[in-house]
C-alpha cells in the first residue's frame, strides 16, 4: 500500500528555536497533504492543508506565521514550527490522500516534538 514518511520521528529543542518537520509520500504523488496535531490522550486536530504550488490553508486558530508550511514538490511538504514554546510540544502527523487508489488518506508515523 501507499506509504507516507515523516522526519524526524522525534525532536527535542529549546524554547525559541525553530523546528522543521518533513512529510513525504514515497510511492505516490500528493498535490494535497494535511497536517494534524495530537495532544496526549486527545484526538487529531487539523492544523492546515498543504497545497503543492500554492499557499497553505490554515484552520481557525492556527497561526500561519508560527506554523510555516511549504509544499515544495508533489511528494514533499514541510511544517516549520517557528520560535517554538513548550505549549507547542505535541505529536504532529501528516497525511496524504491517494487520489489514484481508493481516495483514502495515508498517515505518516508522526513526529513527537518536545520544547524545553
Partner 1 sequence: GQQVMQIPQYQHVQEGEDFTTYCNSSTTLSNIQWYKQRPGGHPVFLIQLVKSGEVKKQKRLTFQFGEAKKNSSLHITATQTTDVGTYFCAGGVDSGYALNFGKGTSLLVTP
Q: Where on the chain is the footprint of partner 1 (CB under 8 A)?
A: 32, 34, 36, 41-46, 49, 93, 95, 97, 99, 102-110
In the complex, the smallest distance separating the C-beta of residue 112 from partner 1, rounded to whole angstroms, is: 9
Nearest Cα to Cα of residue 92 among 41, 49, 31, 37: 37
In the complex, the smallest distance separating the C-beta of residue 102 from partner 1, rounded to whole angstroms, is: 7
User: Distance between CA 54 and CA 98 in Å, rounded?
Assistant: 19
* Whether the Cβ atoms of residue 23 and residue 33 lie closer than 8 Å to each other: yes
Phi, psi at residue 88, to the nearest 5°? -85, -5
**Residue whose CB is less far from partner 1, 97 or 115:** 97
Q: Which three cell numbers stand for residue 49?
A: 492543508
**Residue whose CB is less far from partner 1, 14 or 60:** 60
**Residue whose CB is less far from partner 1, 84 or 96:** 96
In the complex, the smallest distance separating the C-beta of residue 3 from partner 1, rounded to whole angstroms, is: 12
In the complex, the smallest distance separating the C-beta of residue 69 from partner 1, rounded to whole angstroms, is: 13
Name 45's bridge partners.
Answer: 37
CB atoms within 10 A of CB 98: 18
Amino acid at each position: 500500500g501507499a506509504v507516507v514518511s515523516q522526519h524526524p520521528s522525534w525532536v527535542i529543542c529549546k524554547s525559541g528555536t525553530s523546528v522543521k518537520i518533513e512529510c513525504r509520500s514515497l510511492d505516490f504523488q500528493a498535490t494535497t497533504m494535511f497536517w494534524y496535531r495530537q495532544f496526549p490522550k486527545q484526538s487529531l486536530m487539523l492544523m492546515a492543508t498543504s497545497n503543492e504550488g500554492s499557499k497553505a490553508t490554515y484552520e481557525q486558530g492556527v497561526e500561519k506565521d508560527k506554523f510555516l508550511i511549504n509544499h515544495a514538490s508533489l511528494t514533499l511538504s514541510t511544517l516549520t514550527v517557528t520560535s517554538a514554546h513548550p505549549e507547542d510540544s505535541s505529536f504532529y502527523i501528516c497525511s496524504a490522500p491517494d487520489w489514484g487508489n481508493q481516495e483514502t488518506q495515508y498517515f505518516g508515523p508522526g513526529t513527537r516534538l518536545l520544547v524545553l
